[in-house]
């Protein structure tokens, strides 16, 4: 019996790297367009987590009751840890490693913040200082690559600078609370804008 040898064309394994780079550059969530139903369901969960984080996080900065504030921020943290972890996985699978690392660092920072939520504004200051520093790092990692729209990247850099300044002041010993004004209070709208922008980008590419 004669066995036919199959010739493998080495070019067949090339995945058109230039086209792939363009696809990744076009959107931070490039694989959504061809997502199966199960993946689209994950995308909806991710967008929902971002929206929960944006709404409940901002609401927590505006309420006066410490108990209600802790509750709102706890819900906010759970939503953001869920969403940014899923985004890290999605970006890693797409080859956007720096953005994937940024979302992972963001989830870590949010987890650190979550650990101090029950302690109240004063008791959560050490956790907030560390979390703000990780937020700033994550926002730079996510916004630096040319993957997001330019306006969203700009908002990310502004938020990163504001939280970096906040973290530096806290580590220098200044008595700042998570709701102190002007910082970090006026940094939160820029963070919320980023969360909504990520959700919008994710839904737009579906």
Which pLDDT tens digit goes with each residue over 46-75?
999 999 999 999 999 999 999 999 999 999
Residue 120 domain flag: yes
Q: Which residue did the predictor score with more confidence, 134 or 120?
A: 134
Q: Classify 8 as helix, strand or coil.
A: coil
Contact 132, 167 (CB under 8 A): yes
- Domain limits for position 193: 37-204
* Number of domains composing the chain: 1
Whether this model's pTM surpasses 0.75: yes
Residue 188 domain flag: yes
Residue 21's pLDDT is 43
Residue 4 domain flag: no
Q: Classify 121 as helix, strand or coil.
A: helix
Contact 116, 178 (CB under 8 A): no
On the question of pLDDT at 23 being above 50, the answer is: no
Residue 29's pLDDT is 52
Contact 192, 57 (CB under 8 A): yes
Q: Classify 21 as helix, strand or coil.
A: helix
Residue 30 domain flag: no
């Amino acid at each position: 019996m004669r066995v036919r040898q199959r010739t493998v064309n080495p070019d067949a394994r090339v995945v058109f790297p230039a086209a792939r780079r363009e696809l990744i550059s076009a959107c931070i969530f490039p694989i959504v367009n061809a997502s199966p139903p199960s993946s689209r369901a994950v995308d909806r969960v991710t967008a929902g987590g971002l929206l929960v984080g944006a709404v409940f996080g901002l609401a927590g900065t505006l309420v006066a009751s410490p108990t209600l504030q802790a509750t709102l921020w706890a819900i906010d943290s759970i939503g953001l840890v869920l969403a940014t972890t899923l985004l890290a996985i999605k970006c890693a699978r797409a080859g956007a490693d720096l953005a994937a690392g940024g979302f992972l660092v963001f989830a870590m920072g949010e987890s650190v913040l979550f650990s101090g939520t029950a302690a109240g504004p004063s008791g959560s200051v050490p956790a907030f200082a560390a979390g703000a520093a990780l937020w700033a790092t994550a926002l730079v990692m996510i916004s630096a690559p040319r993957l997001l729209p330019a306006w969203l990247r700009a908002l990310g850099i502004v938020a990163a600078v504001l939280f970096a300044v906040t973290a530096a002041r806290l580590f220098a010993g200044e008595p700042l609370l998570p709701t102190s004004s002007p910082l970090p209070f006026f940094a939160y709208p820029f963070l919320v804008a980023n969360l909504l922008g990520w959700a919008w980008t994710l839904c737009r590419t579906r």
